[in-house]
Amino acid sequence: MEVTFQDITLAYPHQAPTLAHFTWTVPDGELTALLGPSGSGKTTLLNLLAGLLTPDHGRLLFDQVDVTHQGMGQRNVGMVFQDYALYPHLTVHDNIAFPLKMAHVKRAEREAQIRQFAALVRVTPFLQKYPRELSGGQQQRVALARALIQRPAVLLLDEPLSNLDAELRVTLRQEIRRIQQATGVTTIFVTHNQTDALQIADTITLLHHGQVQQTGTGHQLYHTPANLTVARFIGSPRLTTLPFAALAPALPDSLAARFASSATLVGIRSEALLATPTPIPLLTTQTMRLTAQDFLGRDIVSHLRWHQQDLISTALPPLAPGEYPLGLAAPGCYFFAANGRCLWTGGTDHAES
């Protein structure tokens, strides 16, 4: 089921619109991550989809059918929340059976479907247990089965991994991916966690201040960000930015001249700053001062100073503080205009215009 938000405007009482002329299409059968910081409008979009909110203007289409004024019951949207929301007094079996009972599905058919969906989400051994007897990850899988058994047109997953520890989070991420591929149900996975989005989704839409900043694969958002907001939100450690003017004297003349009047900021990914020689250098070798290193297991985060600017590298070996000749590789560097638009990427996939 393709979902389209068409020119939607929504304002909460006594507030500027949270969404203004918002247009977004969620492709049929894919797992789309809706990624954005707190307050960006994710929950508002989910509530519009579920039928809990009605827009002031614009239309919501499910496969080109206008559902804007349909109630929750008519839309057949499945939802899984961060806090599982299972019925505590019902067994796993009865939790999964609940939507079918409501729909008056006959017992034999119901039992066959419960077996099928319990197997799909791998909770068959727990069918007679109660939610309190299960781990968070197991409960979340039951919640998924309960949402899927009603054959939803669209499945909404609202921060479903937030309450899980790091290890369970990774496992359940893979499980959700597998289950979505097995069922092919159009799924929107809402999260503020870029790692979840990058690992799970076919496509990511990055939302900020109620506006789509960019839609694409994780690779596209990372390597060819549409603007500074995307480049800063995706990637860890966070993108370092310098005034274009600080870097310009060390840039090749043609590049410096071409962007002199349009670029105001340069963004540098931590992996672009390396011990010379760099394969595709953006600058000639520069002497930089290493001030400190953080040892984070496999990664070493190096803190550097260069022309009164702070830089970060994750591509240096363990070194003592001091001066070092370092190179800046073009891939991983971006130029931004004053309005944040990305004008140039140093990678092979150019966002140049």
Ligand X SMILES: Nc1ncnc2c1ncn2[C@@H]1O[C@H](COP(=O)(O)OP(=O)(O)OP(=O)(O)O)[C@@H](O)[C@H]1O
Task: Give the footprint of ligand X on this chain (CB under 6 A).
Answer: 12, 15, 18, 36, 38-44, 192
Shortest Cβ 15–ligand X spacing (Å): 5
Shortest Cβ 38–ligand X spacing (Å): 3
Q: Using alpha carbons, list the distances in angstroms from residue 43 to 52, 153, 192, 331.
A: 11, 19, 11, 35
Buried b or exposed e, range 19-55, using 16+ CB within 10 angstroms: bbebebebeeebbbbbbbeeebbbbbbbebbbbebeb
Q: Using alpha carbons only, how large is the chain's radius of gyration in Å? A: 24
The nearer residue to ligand X, 16 or 108, going by C-beta atoms, is: 16
Task: State the DSSP H helix or E strand holding residue 300, giving kind and residue range, or none if neither.
Answer: strand 299-306
Determine contact, residues 248/279, Cβ cutoff 8 Å: no
Q: Which residues, 6+ apart, have CB-to-CB distance to 135 below 8 Å?
A: 168
| Alpha carbons 280 and 262: distance in angstroms, whole number | 23
The nearer residue to ligand X, 43 or 203, going by C-beta atoms, is: 43
Shortest Cβ 197–ligand X spacing (Å): 13
| Alpha carbons 204 and 217: distance in angstroms, whole number | 6
The nearer residue to ligand X, 124 or 211, going by C-beta atoms, is: 211
Shortest Cβ 40–ligand X spacing (Å): 4
Dihedral angle sign, alpha carbons of residues 98, 104, 108, 112:
negative
The nearer residue to ligand X, 72 or 296, going by C-beta atoms, is: 72
Shortest Cβ 23–ligand X spacing (Å): 17
The nearer residue to ligand X, 192 or 223, going by C-beta atoms, is: 192
DSSP single-letter state for residue 183: H
Shortest Cβ 79–ligand X spacing (Å): 14
The nearer residue to ligand X, 43 or 181, going by C-beta atoms, is: 43
| Alpha carbons 344 and 322: distance in angstroms, whole number | 32
| Alpha carbons 62 and 21: distance in angstroms, whole number | 18
Shortest Cβ 160–ligand X spacing (Å): 13
The nearer residue to ligand X, 46 or 176, going by C-beta atoms, is: 46
Q: Which residues pair with 61 in a beta bridge?
A: 4, 66
